[in-house]
Amino acid sequence: MKKFSKNKKRNNIIIISVVIVVGIVSIVSLIKSHAYFSTSKSFDVLKGKVPNFTKGDITLAVIVDGVKQEDFPDKNGYKYVGYECNNDAKLTWNNETWRVLIDTDKPTICTLKFETKNNSLNGSEPVVKEGLIPIVIANDGTVTKANIKDKWYSYEESKWANAVILNEADNYKEGDIIPEEAIESYFVWIPKYRYKLFNVEGNSIPAQEIEIEIGDYNTVDSETECKATNKSGDNGTCENGKWMTHPAFTSLDVTGIWVGKFETTGTVDKVTVKPNIASLRDIDGSTMYNTSYNYKRNLDSHMMKNTEWGALVYLTNSKYGRGNSEVWINNYWNNETKTGCTGESASASSTTSCANPYGNGKNNVHGSTTDNISGIYDTSGGAWDMVMGNFNNTQSNFGSTAVSSILSRYKDIYTGASANTNKILGDATGETQGWNGDYAVFAYSTAPWFIRGGYYSNSTVAGIFFFSRGNADVSYNGSFRVVLFTK
C-alpha cells in the first residue's frame, strides 16, 4: 500500500511503504520523494521518482464553490466539504494542517471539494424573500444593502446574517446605504443546528461553551444521536454526549428562524423592531401574541416561544456566538426602556442615561449575542421578554385569546413545575439553570407564563439564561419579541 501526503507549504509528497511479513506488520522503510503538484487545473501528483509509480498515476482536482481551481484555497476563508475518488481509493483530509492523505495501490483520480465559509451552513443558509432585504451593518450602525453573492455573513467568525423590512418600496441597489428612517424592522437569522447534550438531567453545573453543528440535519435515535421529543419532561432516548437537532427547528420543519434584533417597538397598530427607542410595553400577553401574529402573515410572524429563546441562547453560548462570555446588560430606565442600549458591564445597576447607545462603537457591542453589531440585543435587561411558554394551557391574565385555542406550533406547553424534570430539552431552563448567576424560577399553576432575560434593574441576576414566571398581565416592565419563518 502506498500513502501519499501533500503539504501545501512545502509542496512535497511523502511516500510511506509498509511491508507485511507472516502476519506481523512492521515498517521497513520510509521513502521521501520531493514531488509536487503542477499548477494545471487537474494536478498530476507524482513528478518525482517513486518506485512502481509514474507521472499521472494519481491525479488530483480541486473544486471551490463548484469551480475548478489551480490550488487549494486559503485555510482562513474556506472549508473542506468532501471528496470523490475512483478505484476505491481512500482520502483523508486534515483540517488542522490543511493536508491530504491518499491511500491507494492503483492509478487514481480524486476530486477535493471546498466552499467559502460564508456558504458553509450546510443547508441552513438564510432564506431571504417576501420583503426581507439582506444587509450588512457597520460598527456605527450604518446599514448597506448586501449582495448575497458576496460574503455578507460568516457564522464561523460570529458575524450573523441580518435583514430588514422597509417601510417603503425597495428601490435600493446592492451596495447602497439604507437610511434608518426607511427601515421598519431588523431581524437576525438563527440557522438550524444540532447540539451535543451536556446536562439532560438538569443538574447544577458551571456555565460552559455549548458544542453546536450548523446544518439542515434531523437527528435520529441511535448510539450517537437522539430525536427531540419537543415535550415537557420527556427526554426520549437522549442522554449526555449524544447529538440532538434543536426542537425550535424540528417542531416547525424549518431550516432557521428570523428573530427580532431588538425587543418589539412601535405600537400595536404599527409594529417596528428598531434601536434606540422605547420597547412596546404595557399590554397583556394576548395583545402581544396577536400583534406578533398579525405583523407579517406572509412570513408566518409570531411571538417568540420558549424553545426559540433557547435556540438563540445556545447559539450565543457556542463558538458561533460569543462562547462562554456573558452578555452585558441593557440597564437603561427613564420612565421607559431603550432598545439596543448597553450598560458598562454584565451586571451594571440601572441608570437614567444610556452609557452605550446602539451604533456608538466598541462598548455597545458587548450587549450583543455575538459581541459585535451583527448579533441580537436586549437579551439581558431592557424590558423582560414574555415568551409563549405556558403551564398546562393555563389562561391566568393572558387576555381575550384562549390559550387552548392557539396552535401548538406557536406555543410550548409544560406539564409540571420543575426545571429539572419538566423542561423541554433545548429551552435553556433546566439544562442551564443558574448559569452566570442568572435567576431561575420555573412557571407553575398560579404564575403559568415564562419570562426571559430579566429587566433593567435585575443587575447580577439578569442575563440570557434568566427565566422566571408571571401572569401575562399588563406590565410596564414587560415586552416581547417577533419571530419570522420562511421556507
428-441: per-residue pLDDT in tens? 999 999 999 999 99
Model pTM score: 0.79
pLDDT, averaged across the chain: 88
Residues 6+ apart with CB under 8 A from 161: 126, 134, 152, 153, 188, 189, 374
Q: What is the pLDDT of residues 239-250, one digit of tens each?
A: 999 999 999 999
Asked if residue 7 has pLDDT above 80, the reply is no
β-pairing verdict for 177-178 and 193-196: unpaired
What are the sequence ranges of the domains in the chain?
2-119, 132-192+247-484
- Could you give the count of Cα atoms lying within 13 Å of 108 in the half-sphere of its Cβ? 25
CA distance 236 to 229: 6
- Rounded CA-CA distance 4/104 in Å is 8
Q: How confident is the model at residue 87 (pLDDT cuts 50, 70, 90)?
A: confident
Nearest to 160 by CA among 417, 375, 336: 375
Q: Beta strands of 255-295 (E only): which ranges?
A: 256-260, 265-266, 271-272
**12-15 — which CB contacts under 8 Å span 24+ positions?**
12/36, 13/45, 13/46, 13/48, 13/50, 15/50
* Structure confidence at residue 117 (pLDDT): 62
Grouping H, G, I as helix, E, B as strand and the rest as coil, residue 25 is strand
User: pLDDT tens digits, residue range 174-206?
Assistant: 999 999 999 999 999 999 999 999 999 999 999
Q: Is the pLDDT assigned to residue 311 strictly greater than 80?
A: yes
Summarize the confidence of residues 53-77 as an average pLDDT. Answer: 75
* HEC profile of 6-23: EECCCCEEEEEEEEEECC
- Among left, alpha and beta (phi > 0; psi -120 to 50; other), residue 289 is alpha
C-alpha cell at 368: 450583543
Contact call for residues 268 and 289 (beta carbons, < 8 A): no
Neighbouring CB atoms inside 10 A of 175's CB total: 11
